[in-house]
Amino acid sequence: MRIAVMQAAGEVLDVAGNLALVARAAAEAAAAGADVLVTPELFICGYAPLAIQSSLGPELSRAIDDGAARIAREHRIGLVYSTPAAADCGGWHITAALLDRAGNELLRYAKVHLFDREEQQVFVPGEAAPSAVDFEGTRVGLLICYDVEFPEPVRALADAGADVALVPTALGSGFQDVPGILLRARALESQLAIAYANHTGALPADAGQELLLGGLSVIVGPDGALLAQAGTDTEFEVLWADVTTDDVAAARRHVPYLRDRRPALYRAWQQPQH
């Protein structure tokens, strides 16, 4: 599988303009032979929870979903995009969806770990475990931003049979150790590849918060190797790397972390001690 990652600076609530950037990335990725393109967290509506709060509704969600499906169809490429979606319990989730080359939705995931006050004020956390689906012979799953910084969701994807975690994110500057160290450890310990797509650029003051988004999008192999990385200040960049199921199998043979775990013992450790 050839995985492409888009890093770009979008505009808050400029759905048409942001979709045009996704389409540009999809064209570049398809020309490079990529099978799937991963885009940043809430990119199409803009990552600015307080600024988009009053616009959350079916019309916005429909415009994002329809636009993403059209891009996947037109460029014949799998597409991961992130969008607000209505929660069954009321309120809104931050979600990510995986589309096939025909624009059909294969998988949707709701972010479990909301980061900081702005997200927690506007959105509700998901509860469902991450899962994996087959995408053209490779098992892939979705996580979102802060989720991948915890070992449990990544390990849950490995337990679900995932070979690759596709991760839209909105990581601020000053957290370079997340893509530089943490994601490599997550990939190594759970022995799956990680594709991590971040924004770049600064949110305007009227976005409800001051945030400089840090770039450094990465693709990491199942052995923790850094396969591709974007810069910190590029306004638009598409990177790609190849990950095969053979690569995943080789990593799991080399150091059998998954085979040698003792989960029943770990659960016993969590029981009250008398």
Who's near 32: CB < 8 A, 6+ residues apart?
A: 2, 4, 238, 240
Q: What's the residue count for the chain?
A: 274
Catalytic residue among 45, 111, 119, 149: 111
Catalytic residue among 41, 118, 119, 149: 41
Who's near 30: CB < 8 A, 6+ residues apart?
A: 75, 76, 77
The tokens of 143 are what? 């996580």
Among the listed residues 60, 103, 62, the one whose alpha carbon sits nearest the alpha carbon of residue 79: 103
* Residue 111 designated active-site: yes
Among the listed residues 150, 10, 163, 184, the one whose alpha carbon sits nearest the alpha carbon of residue 81: 10
Could you give the CA distance from residue 81 to residue 96 in angstroms, rounded to a whole number?
A: 6
CB 123 within 8 A of CB 49: yes
Q: Which helix (H) or strand (E) holds 27?
A: helix 15-31
Q: Would you call 141 helix, strand, or coil by DSSP? A: strand
CB 220 within 8 A of CB 254: no
* Residue 145 designated active-site: yes
The tokens of 127 are what? 């509860």
Amino acid at 226: L
The tokens of 219 are what? 């693709």
Annotated active-site positions, please?
A: 41, 111, 145
